[in-house]
Amino acid sequence: MRTSAISLLTIAMASSLTVATPALADQWNLASPYGDASFHTQNTKQFAKDVGEATDGELTITVHSGGSLISHAEIKPSVRRGTVQAGEIFLSTLSNESPIYEVDTLPGLAGSYADAYDLWQASKPIITDLFAKEGLMPLYAVPWPAQGIYTDFELTDASQFEGLRVRAPNINTQRFVENLGGIPTQTEEADIPTAFSTGRVDAMITSVSTGKSMSAWDYVSNYSDANLWLPKNIVFVNKRAFDRLDDATQKAVLDAAAKAEQRGWQMSKQDSAESAKALESHGITVSEPSDALQQQLKAAGQKLFEDWQARAGDQAQQLVDRYRERQAQQSQ
Ligand code: PCA
């Protein structure tokens, strides 16, 4: 705690110096909750490197990974205040702010990378507006591989969720667990190993990537590749910090962000395949849900979707309609 407070103070002082001397090179801090083992962090570090190179060091971005500078929940408020200039978060953790932030955690809506990309294209304008209202600007978004279910037994029937304590990374996953009869707990990725070793959770829902980086084989034996949804991380910046940059530097940031988005989607696909293999090579049994289980998961998902529809306002509904129109056009 103390170290973070001191580093934040140092950052605040450094930022105010930068403001006083705008002709000098600028330095940004970017806070992320995810560790260096994550492909997301590797991508974001590459983005920072690209910006430094493209601007000849006019703008350097330091990535503080693994929640080392700011905890996950505090990243967006900190970027809004300008304590740090940029951040990366798991987008659906904002679902308590608007049902719009839930769309990439709705089952049955976008179950492939191509569909998830269409959904992001349909969401981008609305999310950009919502962020703008808070003085923030999205730079890029990258999905995690599809979410599946980790257990320490073979999952064959939804009744096995009864009384099971299941770790979830966001509210919709918690609701989904509840719909299945389980007991959800929200746990940050970095806290997964402790949650299992202290017996606070028995199972978890996440991707193969997180399963690999958190060494899931130390505490579970099975992974059910349920392909629930492909939720995204978003990287964003304080708009005032961005506006202070000269035109060429702004362009360099946007260009590097576009490249990071493209690269990130590729990295996610590749990591999905590699991490699934890594799980197996460490002894985890990876399987697809049986038809019966699939039906049960579908029913729990359907309830999630219907509850969302009841909560979602016009704007969120329109987003889904726009996404479905894009899909219909493409299949013609
Ligand atoms: N990993 C992160 C978010 C989704 C994912 O696949 C987590 O489980 O916290």
The pLDDT tens digits of the residues spanning 84-103 come to 999 999 999 999 999 999 99
- Is 107 a domain residue? no
Give pLDDT, residue 3: 47
Tokens representing 237? Answer: 């910046």
The two tokens of residue 171 are 């509210």
Tell which wins on pLDDT, 140 or 316.
140
Mutation probe of ligand 1 site: the residue of 92, 104, 144 with most atoms within 8 A of C-beta: 144
DSSP state at residue 134: T
Nearest to 51 by CA among 59, 62, 63, 42: 59
Q: Is residue 137 included in any domain, yes or no?
A: yes
34 lines ligand 1 (CB under 6 A): no
The pair of structure tokens assigned to 268 is 């996610």
For the stretch 273-296, pLDDT in tens is: 999 999 999 999 999 999 999 999
In a domain, 251, yes or no: yes
Q: Is a pLDDT exceeding 50 seen at residue 22?
A: no
The strand pair at 183-186 and 165-168 is best described as parallel
104 within domain boundaries: no
In this structure, the answer to whether residues 237 and 255 fall within a common structural domain is yes
Between CA 174 and CA 166 the distance in angstroms is 8
Total count of domains within the chain: 2
Q: How much distance in Å is there from the Cα of 210 to the middle of ligand 1?
A: 6
Mutate to test the pocket of ligand 1, among 189, 196, 233, 268 (most ligand atoms within 8 A of CB): 189
235 and 224 in a common domain: no
Determine which of 132-141, 291-300, 323-332 has the lowest per-residue pLDDT on average.
Answer: 323-332
CA dist., res. 87 & res. 65, Å (int) = 10
Question: Which of the 8 DSSP states describes residue 23?
Answer: T
Mean pLDDT on 35-62: 98
| C-alpha 306 to ligand 1 mean position (Å) | 24
Check residue 238 and give its pLDDT: 98
Both 225 and 312 in one domain: the answer is: yes
Q: Is 80 exposed, middle or buried (0-12, 13-18, 19+ CB in 10 A)?
A: middle
235 Cα to the center of ligand 1, angstroms: 15
Closest CA to 8 of 89, 84, 100: 84
**Is any ligand 1 atom within 6 A of the Cβ of residue 231?**
yes
Tell me, what's the pLDDT at 23? 53
Helix ranges (DSSP H) in the chain: 2-20, 39-54, 72-81, 113-132, 171-179, 192-197, 208-213, 239-243, 247-281, 291-311, 314-331
DSSP summary character for residue 150? E
| Ligand 1 atom closest to 145 (CA) | 6
Looking at the fold, whether 50 and 136 belong to one and the same domain comes out as yes
Q: What is the pLDDT of residues 2-19, one digit of tens each?
A: 445 555 555 555 554 554
The domain in which residue 9 lies consists of 2-99+112-144+231-274
Q: At 296, which CATH number?
A: 3.40.190.170
Q: Are residues 120 and 211 in the same domain?
A: no
Closest residue by Cα to atom 8, ligand 1, is: 206
pLDDT of res. 328: 85
88 and 182 share one domain: no
Token couple for 299: 């029913």
Together in a domain, 208 and 247: no
Query: Does the beta carbon of 210 lie inside 6 Å of ligand 1?
Result: yes
* Contact (Cβ atoms closer than 8 angstroms) between residue 220 and residue 202: no
Do 30 and 166 share a domain, yes or no? no
CB of 206 within 6 A of ligand 1: the answer is: yes
Q: Is 150 in the pocket of ligand 1 (CB under 6 A)?
A: no
Q: Is residue 315 part of a domain?
A: yes
Q: Are 7 and 83 in contact (CB under 8 A)?
A: no
Q: 140, 260 in Cβ contact below 8 A?
A: yes
What whole-number distance in Å separates Cα of residue 15 and Cα of residue 28? 8
Ligand 1 binding pocket mutation candidate from 88, 104, 147 (most atoms within 8 A of CB): 147
pTM of the predicted model as reported, rounded to 2 decimal places: 0.92
Is residue 106, in this structure, part of any structural domain at all?
A: no
**295 vs 316: CA distance, rounded Å:** 27
Length of the chain: 332
**pLDDT value at position 49?**
98
Nearest-CA residue for ligand 1 atom 6 is 207
Residue 164 confidence (pLDDT)? 98
Distance in Å, CA 3 to ligand 1 centroid? 26
Element holding 32 (H helix, E strand): none
- 90 C-beta closer than 6 A to ligand 1: yes
CA of 208 to the centre of ligand 1 (A): 9
Same domain membership, residue 307 and residue 253: no
User: Which atom of ligand 1 lies closest to the CA of 205?
Assistant: 8
Average pLDDT on 109-120 reads 96
DSSP state of 283: T
The reply to whether 209 and 305 lie within a common domain is yes
Q: Is residue 169 part of a domain?
A: yes
- Tell me the pLDDT of the chain averaged across its residues: 93
272 lines ligand 1 (CB under 6 A): no
Half-sphere exposure of 184 (CA within 13 A, CB side): 19
* Atom number in ligand 1 closest to CA 38: 1
From the list 78, 57, 80, 82, the residue with the least C-alpha distance to 69 is 78
Distance CA 212, CA 152 (A): 15
Instruction: Give the percent of the chain with pLDDT over 90.
Output: 87
Contacts of 176 (CB under 8 A, 6+ apart): 107, 168, 205, 228, 300, 301, 304
The verdict on 222 and 237 lying in the same domain is no
The answer to whether residue 105 is domain-embedded is no
300 shares a domain with 212: yes
User: Phi first, then psi: what are they for 205, rounded to 5°?
Assistant: -115, 125
CA 144 to ligand 1: nearest atom: 6
Terminal Cα-to-Cα distance of the chain (whole angstroms) = 56
